[in-house]
Structure 1
Amino acid sequence: MHWLFLLLAFAALAFALLTTSTPVLAGCLLAALVLFVLWVFGLYQARVAGSGRDIAMAIDPMELRRLREQAEARKAAAEAGTQDTDTTP
């Protein structure tokens, strides 16, 4: 889609070069500038969207298992600590 903006920008620029009317020239140059900026934004968006990586692959499965075991151990220790304080009068 963003390539269409570039094509339209070139068409507006070509029309601006061929016209003899000053207001039409100004409008075409402004349209060409806006379409070129839209093309740059579209190109940037396409490159950023294509460079994303899966966050699930950011952590090694072994590291993820180790972190889960640590979290379970902390949870079990916290539950054991709350049970001990509940039994004392």
Structure 2
Amino acid sequence: MHWLFLLLSLGALFLAFRTTSVALMLVSLLVAFALIVAWAIAWYQARMGGSDRSAQLIDPAELHRLRQVAEARRTAKAAGQDTTPPPAP
């Protein structure tokens, strides 16, 4: 659907370049600009999946597990144990 905005904006630009009327040129340039903005917004929403970010959030069980791992690392570091693996040669 968002490609339709792009095609219509290209049509409006073509009309703006081919017309001899200044008023029609200004109107078609404004329409082309509005359609390009609409295309960019629709493309972004299609690319990012709209405004639904719930699929990208961490569930509470995974967050709890990550906090436990971080706490264990802090405790091991405070005790003087090195939990990081040695660098690869």
**What are the Cα deviations for residues 26-85 of structure 1, in whole angstroms up to 9, with x where unaligned?**
00000000000000000111111079536577855xx5xxxxxxxxxxxxxxxxxxxxxx
Percent of aligned pairs sharing the same letter: 41
Letter of the aligned partner of 2:35 in structure 1?
Answer: L
- Partner of residue 23, structure 1: 23
Q: Distance in 1 between matches of 2:57 and 2:24?
A: 50
Distance 1:55 1:15, change over 3 A: same
Distance 1:57 1:16, change over 3 A: same
TM-score (norm 1): 0.58
**Larger helix proportion, structure 1 or 2?**
1
Q: Which runs of 4+ in 1 moved over 3 A?
A: 50-60
Please give the secondary structure, in 1, of the residue aligned with 2:49.
Answer: helix
Distance 1:58 1:40, change over 3 A: farther
Residue correspondences, number: 64
Considering Cα pairs closer than 8 Å and 6+ residues apart, tell me whether 1 or 2 has the greater RCO: 1
TM-score (norm 2): 0.58
- Partner of residue 7, structure 2: 7
